[in-house]
Amino acid sequence: MQTQEFQQQSILITGGTSGIGLASAQAFLQKGAKCVYITGRDKQKLDQAQSLLGSKAVAIQADVAQLGEIDIVKRCIEQRGDQLDVVFANAGIAENNVIGTTSEQQFDAMFDTNVKGVFFTVQSVLPLIRQGGNIILNASVAANKGMTNLSVYSASKAAVRSFARTWCSDLKERKIRVNTISPGVTSTPILQTGLQMTETHIAELTNYLSAVVPAARMAQAEEIAAAVVFLASPSASFVNGVELSVDGGFAQV
Ligand SMILES: NC(=O)c1ccc[n+]([C@@H]2O[C@H](COP(=O)([O-])OP(=O)(O)OC[C@H]3O[C@@H](n4cnc5c(N)ncnc54)[C@H](OP(=O)(O)O)[C@@H]3O)[C@@H](O)[C@H]2O)c1
């Protein structure tokens, strides 16, 4: 439904070209956002997202794992004379790793994107965030569950959840709220591109989730986006430092 809850607001979503980030960009625009900045590494995906989202979206090619590229995002927003009301630090990668054969390269790739990328994105754009703004970090149900062959990814997401605890205190003078979202398994391209799942694997995962998740299914990206929008909204004005699990109950039972 079209509302004007985020009228005059500018939103930055890292990894806004696909999955949860793209669904969140659409949700903020549907709720009247003035401008949604989306980032990603792949130019083709950026172009596709830009044409889907329309003229209120600004697509910026930048890798969150590269500090110099994070700075490009900041400069782009500054050059437009804009400030930020909401930052959704969403960009992340997921790969399986087997303890015993995990390479340093695998470890660094996940921590560089999921932890360093979140930290330096927020640090870089902090001067542009308005008093009373909102930061939302994307962690994962994996931060709270011991899922086989996901130790590096899960640890990276536990670090993300931790940032929200400290930053909500660090930023209290500026009345910036910092919250974490922890999605359960969500139907996005990361399942194929990151976790290398085939259709058979996804069918097996779907069966497994129907047995162990109270909601008995995986999430759609739009369901996670709705929770992100809630955390950024005045309805969540006293919600600060939390981890909001949007996992159909997976980590709660
Ligand atoms: N899907 C799930 O089951 C699930 C569950 C819990 C948490 N999450 C988290 O949700 C977030 C979004 O994932 P998704 O499921 O929506 O996956 P997705 O569809 O693969 O989207 C990932 C987005 O992040 C971007 N990205 C990846 N690495 C990046 C980098 N180094 N710099 C900038 N952008 C980067 C991707 O674009 P490029 O590849 O073009 O850079 C893409 O826009 C991730 O942090 C993920 O860990 C997902």
Containing structural domain, residue 122:
10-188+220-247
Per-residue pLDDT of the chain (253 residues; tens, 9 = 90+): 567 899 999 999 999 999 999 999 999 999 999 999 999 999 999 999 999 999 999 999 999 999 999 999 999 999 999 999 999 999 999 999 999 999 999 999 999 999 999 999 999 999 999 999 999 999 999 999 999 999 999 999 999 999 999 999 999 999 999 999 999 999 999 999 999 999 999 999 999 999 999 999 999 999 999 999 999 999 999 999 999 999 999 999 9
Domain assignment of residue 215, yes or no? no
153 counts as catalytic:
yes
Does the beta carbon of 188 lie inside 6 Å of ligand 1?
A: yes
Does the beta carbon of 248 lie inside 6 Å of ligand 1?
A: no
User: Rounded to whole angstroms, how far apart are CA atoms 28 and 160?
Assistant: 23
Distance between Cα 145 and ligand 1 center (Å)? 19
> Each residue of 236-252: b (16+ CB within 10 Å) or e?
beeebebbbbbbbebbe
Q: CA angle 87-69-138, nearest 5°?
A: 35
Q: Which of 6, 88, 153, 167 is the catalytic position?
A: 153
Alpha carbon dihedral 15, 137, 35, 134, in 10-degree steps, equals -170
Distance between Cα 160 and ligand 1 center (Å)? 14
Domain assignment of residue 66, yes or no? yes
Considering its fold, how many domains does the chain have in total? Answer: 1
pTM: 0.98
Does the beta carbon of 132 lie inside 6 Å of ligand 1?
A: no
- The CATH number of residue 84's host domain is 3.40.50.720
- Nearest Cα to Cα of residue 136 among 25, 215, 57, 217: 25
Instruction: Please choose from 120, 188, 213 the residue to mutate so as to test ligand 1's pocket, defined by most ligand atoms within 8 A of CB.
Output: 188
Domain assignment of residue 120, yes or no? yes
Query: What residues does 38 pair with on adjacent strands?
Result: 13, 59
Domain assignment of residue 128, yes or no? yes
> Which atom in ligand 1 lies closest to the alpha carbon of residue 219?
3
